[in-house]
Amino acid sequence: MTVIHQTIVVRRDVHAKAKADAEAERRRLAARGTLAVNLLSSPGTGKTTLLEATARAWAGRYTMAVLVGDLETDRDAQRLRRLVPTAQLTTGGACHLELPLVRRGLEALGDPPVDFLFIENVGNLVCPASHDLAEHLRVVLVSVTEGDDKPGKYPKMFRTSQAMVVTKLDLLPHVPFSVDAVEADARRIQPALRCLQVAALGGQGIDHWCEYLVTERERRLASQQ
Partner 1 sequence: MHERSLMKALLAQVDAIRVQHRAQKVSEVRVEVGPLSGVEPVQLATAFEEMALGTPCATAAFIIDEVGLLARCLDCHTEFEVVGFEFLCPECAGQVQVICGDSLQLISVGLELEHVAKEETT
Q: Can you tell me the distance from the alpha carbon of 192 to that of 80, in angstroms, rounded to the nearest whole number?
A: 31
Binding mask 128-167 for partner 1 (x = CB under 8 A): -xx---------------------x--xx--x--------
Asked if residues 51 and 129 have their Cβ atoms less than 8 Å apart, the reply is no
If the CB atoms of residues 75 and 188 are measured against partner 1, the closer one turns out to be 188
Q: Does 184 bind partner 1 (CB under 8 A)?
A: no
Helix (H/G/I), strand (E/B), else coil: 225: coil
Helix (H/G/I), strand (E/B), else coil: 56: helix
If the CB atoms of residues 18 and 109 are measured against partner 1, the closer one turns out to be 18
The minimum distance between CB 66 and partner 1, in angstroms, equals 24
- Collect all residues with Cβ–Cβ distance below 8 Å to 81 and sequence separation of at least 6: none
Q: Please, which of residues 93-122 interact with partner 1 by CB under 8 A?
A: 93-96, 98
Helix (H/G/I), strand (E/B), else coil: 174: helix
Phi and psi, residue 38, nearest 5°: -95, 115
Binding mask 56-95 for partner 1 (x = CB under 8 A): -------------------------------------xxx
Please state whether 125 falls in left (phi above 0), alpha (psi between -120 and 50) or beta. alpha
The minimum distance between CB 85 and partner 1, in angstroms, equals 28
If the CB atoms of residues 84 and 119 are measured against partner 1, the closer one turns out to be 119
CA-CA-CA-CA dihedral for 109, 113, 114, 118, to nearest 10: 60
The minimum distance between CB 30 and partner 1, in angstroms, equals 22
Which residue ranges make up the site for partner 1 (CB under 8 A)? 1-15, 18, 93-96, 98, 126-127, 129-130, 152, 155-156, 159, 188-192
